[in-house]
């Protein structure tokens, strides 16, 4: 009975984090972009430092009419936002936040599970693009699929390098096996994994599938109200998941200067810093063209990821 209660409490904690952390990232993005670009609106809603901006956005989405295009495939159109959002909830369940079982559910092949489930999220965009009966939406969905095919391979190879180094596919096992000298050794893999993750989330500068100047808003053009909000929430949840995974795989997870008893704090701090970097990149870099996106993946990231795997194999042989 106690084991069942423990599992329920863990899953409830993951659900609360899933509901809170993406909204916190969204609110932070408003503020960071307001400071970096001199945007006044997000800094004044509600008074002190624009605290009510998130509330205002929520009310705006909730009061908008839910419209389904007449020629759309209604069922597929309606469930696409859920398909885009739910994979990130499943991934959060297996990401370790701290030592001593501080994880929703530990899985021996956790890394394999995470990479497999993350690939499902793109189906939401493909479903939305096809079901909308809109040529701009369809183009956005096809671009999303092409981008996933290009960037999934280097992301998997970079993660495989860490699994080789740790000798396990378990995420808690990878953190436990972490050594301080891994960071400079795996720095190229960390760059590849983080960059490929940004591309899969369609975050700037890899946001060609939703290029407003070309295809309105890509696969999400026909969405309004809460369904559109779910796609935005999926993006912010993806940022949390990407940053947390990068922390666990490449930055030592809960390891920090002091006792591991506050390891959960180190995990959250590292994740928050990486989330800030994601927002910073959006403000700093212009959007890449579609051909530049593909060229960067196939001619830069994939060769680098193969070199990282080769380096990991050499280091493992020398150490052993």
Residue 81 lies in a domain: yes
Cα(121)–Cα(136) distance, rounded to whole angstroms? 20
The per-residue pLDDT for 58 is 78
Domain that holds residue 104: 2-24+71-319
State the CB neighbour count (10 A cutoff) for residue 167.
Answer: 11
pTM for the predicted model, two decimal places: 0.90
Instruction: Look at residues 194, 22, 203, 216 and name the one whose alpha carbon lies nearest to residue 128.
Output: 216
For 139, residues 6+ apart whose C-beta sits below 8 A from its C-beta are 129, 215, 218
Residue 5 pLDDT greater than 80, yes or no:
no
Q: Which one is predicted more confidently, 246 or 184?
A: 246
Residue 44 pLDDT greater than 80, yes or no:
no
Residue 1 pLDDT greater than 60, yes or no:
no
Q: Do 87 and 235 touch, CB atoms closer than 8 A?
A: no
Of all residues in the chain, the percent with pLDDT exceeding 90 is 22
Residue 13 lies in a domain: yes
Residue 38 lies in a domain: no
- What does the pLDDT average to over 53-76? 80
Residue 2 pLDDT greater than 70, yes or no:
no
Residue 271 pLDDT greater than 90, yes or no:
yes
pLDDT digits over 97-148, tens only?
A: 888 777 777 788 889 999 989 888 888 888 888 888 888 888 888 888 888 8
Residue 29 lies in a domain: no
Structural domains in the chain (count): 1
Q: Which one is predicted more confidently, 182 or 174?
A: 174
Residue 33 lies in a domain: no
Q: Do 146 and 295 touch, CB atoms closer than 8 A?
A: no
Per DSSP, the three-state class of 196 is helix
The per-residue pLDDT for 284 is 85
Residue 36 pLDDT greater than 70, yes or no:
yes
State the CB neighbour count (10 A cutoff) for residue 286.
Answer: 7
Q: Do 101 and 85 touch, CB atoms closer than 8 A?
A: no
- What does the pLDDT average to over 181-193? 87
pLDDT digits over 279-303, tens only?
A: 999 888 888 888 888 899 999 999 9
Residue 306 pLDDT greater than 90, yes or no:
yes
């Amino acid at each position: 009975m106690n084991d069942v209660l423990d599992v329920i409490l863990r899953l409830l904690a993951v659900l609360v984090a899933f509901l809170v952390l993406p909204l916190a990232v969204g609110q932070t993005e408003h503020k960071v972009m307001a400071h970096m670009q001199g945007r006044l609106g997000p800094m004044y809603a509600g008074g002190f430092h624009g605290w009510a901006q998130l509330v205002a956005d929520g009310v705006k989405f909730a009061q908008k009419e839910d419209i389904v295009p007449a020629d759309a495939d209604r069922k597929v159109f309606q469930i696409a936002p859920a398909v885009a959002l739910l994979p990130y909830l499943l991934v959060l369940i297996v990401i370790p936040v701290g030592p001593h079982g501080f994880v929703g559910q530990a899985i021996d092949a956790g890394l394999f599970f995470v990479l497999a489930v993350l690939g499902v999220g793109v189906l939401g965009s493909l479903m939305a693009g096809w079901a909308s009966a809109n040529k701009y939406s369809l183009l956005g969905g096809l671009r999303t699929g092409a981008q996933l095919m290009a960037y999934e391979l280097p992301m998997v190879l970079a993660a495989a390098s860490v699994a080789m180094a740790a000798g396990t596919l378990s995420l808690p096992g990878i953190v436990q096996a972490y050594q301080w000298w891994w960071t400079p050794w795996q720095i190229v893999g960390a760059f590849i994994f983080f960059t490929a993750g940004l591309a899969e989330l369609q975050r700037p500068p890899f946001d060609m599938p939703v290029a407003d100047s070309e295809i309105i808003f890509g696969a999400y053009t026909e969405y309004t109200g809460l369904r559109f909000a779910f796609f935005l929430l999926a993006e912010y949840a993806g940022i949390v998941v990407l940053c947390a995974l990068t922390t666990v795989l490449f930055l030592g997870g809960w390891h920090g200067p002091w006792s591991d008893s506050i390891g959960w704090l180190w995990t959250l701090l590292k994740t928050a810093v990486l989330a800030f970097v994601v927002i910073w990149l959006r403000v700093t870099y212009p959007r890449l063209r579609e051909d530049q996106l593909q060229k960067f993946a196939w001619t830069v990231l994939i060769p680098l990821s193969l070199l990282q795997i080769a380096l990991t194999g050499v280091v493992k042989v020398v150490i052993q």
